[in-house]
A and B are shown apart, each in its own frame.
Chain A
Amino acid sequence: FFFFLLVYRLHGRYHEMAPNVVPMDYTKDPDVKLPMQLIINMPELKENPFRERIVESFSEDGEGSLSFNDFVDMFSVLSEMAPRELKAIYAFKIYDFNTDNFICKSDLEKTLNKLTREELTAEEITLVCEKVIEEADMDGDGKLGFADFENMISKAPDFLSTFHIRI
């Protein structure tokens, strides 16, 4: 029941963003996608430094346009009810900027720059990135695989509380 309401609401939001493109009636299986520009202007995502990455990692074609299915997918993962493992997987995807299934140094640098709005000096960034890899890299390959990431994130105290969006 809650789920139903949620989807109902989500559809409302989805429709709201482009009322002339998205049909009200999904019985006639329309093939509609919304471009990233529209999605990231949602108030829920507007301030998020990773908004492009979020949308990209949930879009089916990797380009950032979302069908309604992807849209629902996104908010179900970011909802409170989603389990930690699922969130971890998508968090990993989000932070993996170059989609090579590893979080490497360049990914970390990008993350850091987005988080701090590029207010740290170059040395500080390198220091932080090195520290992160040193802390979390268990297999010693100089980058974080998913196992490393999950191991790290599963111990984080406030991952669950911060990695969710209420809609």
Chain B
Amino acid sequence: MSSRRARSRQSTSSSRITDEQINDLVSKLQAVLPEAHIRGAERVSAAKVLQETCNYIRSLHREVDDLSERLTELLATTEASSAQAAIIRSLLM
């Protein structure tokens, strides 16, 4: 019985997420935010990073929406879309 408990204790300690790992993720998130180059290595609170991440995701969604619109307009007016697809395919090789 005691050996089983000891074994389970061992497995939970090896899978436990440390505060350090979470902090590491938060700073990685901070590094991809648009203001990262302004801040440099200065640490920001987790709540602030989360808030800015939410704002950034929203703005990226808006950018995708805008780019989709521009792509749609471009594809609608072009007559050689199949030729362009062939060009892009060759660029991907």
A binds B: no
